[in-house]
Chain A
Amino acid sequence: MPGVPLALSALLVVFLVLPVLALLLRGLNAQFLPTLLGPVVLDALRISLLTTSCTMVLTVLLGTPVAWLLARYDFPGKTALDTLLDLPIVLPPVVAGVGLLLAFGRSGLLGAPLELAGISVAFSPAAVVLAQLFVAAPFYLRTAKAGFMAVDRDVEDAARTDGADRWTVFRYITWPLASAFLLEGLVLTWARALGEFGATILFAGSLQGRTRTITLAIYSALESDLAPALVLSAVMVLVAFTVLAVVRRLGSLHTPR
């Protein structure tokens, strides 16, 4: 094998792997289980699981129709809409947080009507979900749209000529054929939602057992008690690895062989 590329590759691989190893070495110690079962870590895990689950449900419910419409229909302003929906992917999360606060906060654009309706979003678990939805749903939209576009239209047309209505075609043809894409998008969305930090701390604040997700708990623990921070970091490494493995597997399902 050529020497120089090999040496450079080794350098990069070591650089990328070393911090991960360090996290696991420090995090997976004798204190791992007791710390994992402590209230700080359990609360953070519970909040993260709960909020990301809500985010997933909302993403599928609201994102699938949008992705389907964008893949199937042409209308004026479609490109502009497409770009707008991608915007949160490139927007810094802190900016997203400020935007959410200025839109849904008490003195925000929709603040007064929401307040009248008795709904107060900021600093609630709902705010965590909205922050996650805002920064993460576009990942699902993108992959789902690609999935719907990859479905062979002839198959759908054939089903329609055989008398299937629009919903039946979607349920039994389009959805299954695109499902590998949809799942991949969902996993990516979930990972992004799980790691959300900037928008959450601005819009939802940070309160243990209510809005303090795993990432916020790591940040706050780093400033007082390192042990939970290290345990949570190790948990995040394991979760991230699993997510990537799943995405890889799903990716191999829909690549043409």
Chain B
Amino acid sequence: MKKKLLMSTLLLSLGSASAANLTVFAAASLTDAFAEIGQAFDAKTGHTTRFQFAGSQALRTQLDHGARADVYASANNAQFDPLVKSGLVTAGQPFLSNRLAVIAPKNNAKVQTLADLSKPGLKLVIADKAVPVGDYTRRMISAIDKSGAYGQDFSGQFLKNVVSEEPNVRQVALKVQLGEADAAVVYSSDVTPALRPNVRVITLPTRFNQSASYPIGTLKDAASPEAAQAFVKFVLSGEGQAILKKWGFLKPQ
């Protein structure tokens, strides 16, 4: 009896000692969904999770230069795999997929269809080519180019209309929300309830759309590896996936 009591006290004290402070680096597009996942995770486990959201390429640079984190969730493999290769991140796994969306301000009718994006004199805002969504955007326009659906030099005209290449996807969306861009390319999950009243989504045929696969993994020298793994597991669990679905993300492929 006494032994049992001792054991359970020990377990309890271990339990409270393992309430960890968790730092998660996550792609800017995950801002809303991961904030909610963090709350649910903390409530369930007693951990305290903090997030740093930015363009995946910025987070990768920071991790490369010694930023401390426990978990890294990137919006593409190009900004994730090098960290695995250099041994900073343990092998990751895809936890969701995302699609592109072309958006325009609600009160600005300059862009009605995809073909309009190559009309001269437009102001388009996209992400820098190092940003995952900027990479997917360029793949999208070259797919359109290849199909020949909107003329010979669609991508040339499109890129001529680009007035800014932003450091992360939320900055891209912001420029449309403020009405300063005629159209922009973001993820479909970026059309959040906060953005929806201000924007129109322009139809993007599936054959031109790009599938973005997001990997997640724990850092090799995470301060609390168990909590980090628990977070990844939670994101992959039914509960985590339900929250991601609610914010417009798709199942991993």
Contact = CB atoms under 8 A, between A and B. Distances in A.
Interface of A: 101, 105-107, 120, 122-124, 201, 204-208, 210-211, 219-220, 222-224
Contacts of A224: 57, 128-130
A204 B61 CA distance: 25
A106 B164 contact: no
B178 A223 contact: no
A208 B163 CA distance: 10
19 contacts: A101-B178, A101-B180, A105-B178, A106-B179, A107-B178, A122-B180, A123-B125, A123-B180, A205-B166, A206-B164, A206-B167, A207-B162, A219-B167, A223-B57, A223-B128, A223-B130, A224-B57, A224-B128, A224-B129
B166 A206 contact: yes
Contacts, number: 59
Nearest to A98: B178
A216 to B, nearest CB: 9
B50 interface: no
Contacts of A107: 178-180
Interface string B95-139: 000000000000000000000000000010100111100000000
A205 B180 CA distance: 11
A101 B179 CA distance: 10
Contacts of B129: 224
Given A201-B167, A206-B167, 16 more contacts: A105-B178, A105-B179, A105-B180, A107-B179, A123-B125, A205-B125, A205-B163, A206-B165, A207-B162, A210-B163, A222-B58, A222-B61, A223-B58, A223-B128, A223-B131, A224-B57
> Looking at chain A's contact residues, is the secondary structure mostly helix, strand, loop, or mixed?
loop
Interface residues of B, number: 21
A223 B180 contact: no
A42 B123 CA distance: 25
Nearest to B181: A123
Given A105-B180, A107-B178, A205 B164 contact: yes
Q: From A122, A201, A204, A205, name the one whose CB has the most chain B CB atoms within 10 angstroms.
A: A205
B57 A123 contact: no
Contacts of A120: 123
B217 interface: no
Which 8 residue pairs across A and B have the least CB separation, nearest first? A205-B164, A107-B179, A123-B163, A224-B130, A223-B57, A223-B130, A223-B58, A122-B180
Contact of B130 (A106, A211, A220): A220
Nearest to B164: A205
B55 interface: yes
Nearest to B54: A223
Nearest to A208: B165
Contacts of A208: 165
Contacts of B57: 223-224
Nearest to A211: B164
Contacts of B125: 123, 205
Given A107-B180, A224-B130, A207 B167 contact: no
Given A123-B123, A205-B125, A207-B162, A220 B167 contact: yes
A128 B55 CA distance: 23
Contacts of A223: 55, 57-58, 60-61, 128, 130-131, 167
Contacts of B175: 205
Contacts of B131: 223
A226 B102 CA distance: 31
A145 B131 CA distance: 46
